[in-house]
Amino acid sequence: MERCRQRRRSQHNRRNGRGVVAVEFALVLVPLLLLVSGVAEYGRAIYQYNALTKATRDAARFLSQYAPSEPNYPLAQAKCMAVYGKTVCEGDVLVKGLSTSMVVVCDRVDSSGCGAKQFANVPIYEGGDSSGPQAGTINLVEVKISGYSYSPIQTYIKVGTLAFSDIATVMRQVL
């Protein structure tokens, strides 16, 4: 008889233990999912920032082959390249929310929108510092994406939109 009671108690304790494990799992699952979602969003933000950086680099490299004084200077094509990854403004954008109005190009002809930077006849010095003799001048082109905001894909993360700082690439341009 005593043995029968012990067996019933052990079966009862096992059933109660299963319920406790389920509650503990539920309590741990919520913070774990939030942590995994946060890491995924952070990785997505880094991916978008790198995609924008590559887009400015490709557009600056494209424009560096042309002189801004040429009649067929491909400014619109460079803006398309920064947004769509090709010289034609059609298809999917490289990064959601990016538009050609966010792309600013500064060169020796037009440097509005780039502050007080110098793009024409920038002196270069022997040895790399300005204490040595001047070796010549170069012209520069800058492609900048300004005003891009990252918005998270998970709607329960209440950070709103995060504004990236200006992403710019400067390269030498032909004379």
Q: Which residue has the higher pLDDT, 142 or 116?
A: 142
Burial of 61 (0-12, 13-18, 19+ CB in 10 A): middle
Q: Which residue has the higher pLDDT, 169 or 160?
A: 169
Q: Token digits for 131? A: 């204490």
What is the domain extent for residue 144? 2-173
* pLDDT (tens digit per residue) in 44-64: 889 999 999 999 999 999 999
> Distances in Å between the alpha carbon of 103 and those of 33, 37, 82, 166?
37, 31, 7, 10
Mean pLDDT of 98-121: 88
Range with the largest mean pLDDT of 1-5, 33-37, 155-159 = 33-37
**For the stretch 92-110, what's the b/e string if a residue is b when 16 or more beta carbons lie within 10 angstroms of its beta carbon?**
eebbeebeeebbbbbbbbe
Tally of domains within the chain: 1
Please tell me the pTM assigned to this model.
Answer: 0.78
Kindly give the pairing relationship between strand 167-173 and strand 149-150: unpaired
Q: Tokens 């969003």 correspond to what residue?
A: 41
Of 16-30, 65-79, 160-174, the range with the lowest mean pLDDT is: 16-30
The total of other beta-carbon atoms located within 10 Å of residue 147's CB is 13
Kindly give the pairing relationship between strand 103-106 and strand 162-163: unpaired
Mean pLDDT of 104-116: 87
Cα(122)–Cα(76) distance, rounded to whole angstroms? Answer: 25
Say what the pLDDT of residue 126 is.
78
The residues near 93 (Cβ < 8 Å, ≥ 6 apart) are: 83, 84, 99
**For the stretch 45-57, what's the b/e string if a residue is b when 16 or more beta carbons lie within 10 angstroms of its beta carbon?**
eeebbeebeebbb
The distance of Cα 43 from the centroid of its chain, to the nearest Å, equals: 10
